[in-house]
Amino acid sequence: MKQILIIDDDEKLGKLLIQYLERYDMKVHVALTPSKGFELIKKIKPDLLILDVMLPEKDGFEICREIRAKSSIYGQLPILMLTAHAEVTDRIVGLELGADDYLPKPFEPRELVARIHNILRRSSDDNSVREIKPINGLEVDMSRREVKLDGDVLDLTTMEYELLVLFMQFPNKTFTRDELMNRLRGIDAELFSRAVDTLVSRLRHKLKDTSKTPRFIKTVWGRGYTFVGEQI
């Protein structure tokens, strides 16, 4: 599992990322201050550092420079910079100082994941794609983004695929609609709508799971949904 350290004083963002990146097999640690950050770098030896430009004490550029200059074990630590404004100058400075990539805030969680994978792939051969155990005739190959039901390849949309992956990574866990919405879209989307229900419905349909005794996705009445794992 990839260890990722975020140095950012935005607590909320940190918590969100901890949740969101979890299912991409990344363990996220958050440091609210640079000093705490340096401490954690030594402690957890992260595979990737995500750095906010705006920080108390010293700014992200400064930190980036320091890390690169120390050229110890961490001199090559991949760094992804978060900048408040998508200014080109920022970008250039950042990259010159040795950041491996940058991402303007606010960003799409998916975009973040894509960039993280990119950087990790570059820095080492990225085997970070976590394997998902086949359950009850349903297999997911994340490196190929391929889903097979009883041997047949399924054609899933992005959302459907992500929902399925989420479910299968936590079989038997009951997700509330809120939770699913948050994990899938990254935003605290206040659930006025029934988007999740629709999505589940569509996924069920493709999984041929529309009978009353579901093979895969069980409705937990009044709570949410559960992907049923191995029956014992």
Partner DNA sequence: AACAGATGAAGCAAATACTTATCATCGACG
Partner DNA sequence: CGTCGATGATAAGTATTTGCTTCATCTGTT
For residue 178, the partner it binds in its own copies, DNA, none, with Cβ less than 5 to 8 A by kind, is: its own copies
* Separation between Cα atoms, residue 166 and residue 163, nearest integer Å: 5
Under the binding rule (CB under 7 A), the answer on residue 109 touching DNA is no
Going across the sheet that includes 146-149, the strands are: 138-141, 146-149, 152-154
Among 65, 185, 206, 215, contact with DNA (rule: CB under 7 A) = 185
Under the binding rule (CB under 8 A), the answer on residue 146 touching its own copies is yes
Tell the burial category of 123 from Cβ atoms under 10 Å away from its Cβ (0-12, 13-18, 19+): middle
Under the binding rule (CB under 7 A), the answer on residue 160 touching DNA is yes
Under the binding rule (CB under 7 A), the answer on residue 192 touching DNA is yes
Q: Distance of CA 135 to CAs 24, 57, 155, 199, 200, Å?
A: 19, 49, 18, 20, 18
CA 81 to chain centre: 16
What residues from 80 to 99 belong to the interface with DNA (CB under 7 A)? Answer: none
SS3 assignment for 162-197: HHHHHHHHCCCCEEEHHHHHHHHHCCCCCCCCCHHH
Stretch that binds DNA, among 18-26, 52-60, 62-70, 189-197 (CB under 7 A): 189-197
In angstroms, how far apart are the furthest CA atoms of the chain?
Answer: 62
Under the binding rule (CB under 8 A), the answer on residue 128 touching its own copies is no
For residue 192, the partner it binds in DNA, its own copies, none, with Cβ less than 5 to 8 A by kind, is: DNA
What residues from 160 to 199 belong to the interface with its own copies (CB under 8 A)? Answer: 172-174, 176, 178, 182, 187-188
Under the binding rule (CB under 8 A), the answer on residue 62 touching its own copies is no
Q: Residue numbers of the site for DNA (CB under 7 A)? A: 155, 157-160, 177, 185, 192-195, 197-202, 204-205, 210, 212, 219-224
Q: Could you list the residues that contact its own copies (CB under 8 A)? A: 69, 114, 118, 121-122, 143-146, 157-158, 172-174, 176, 178, 182, 187-188, 220-223
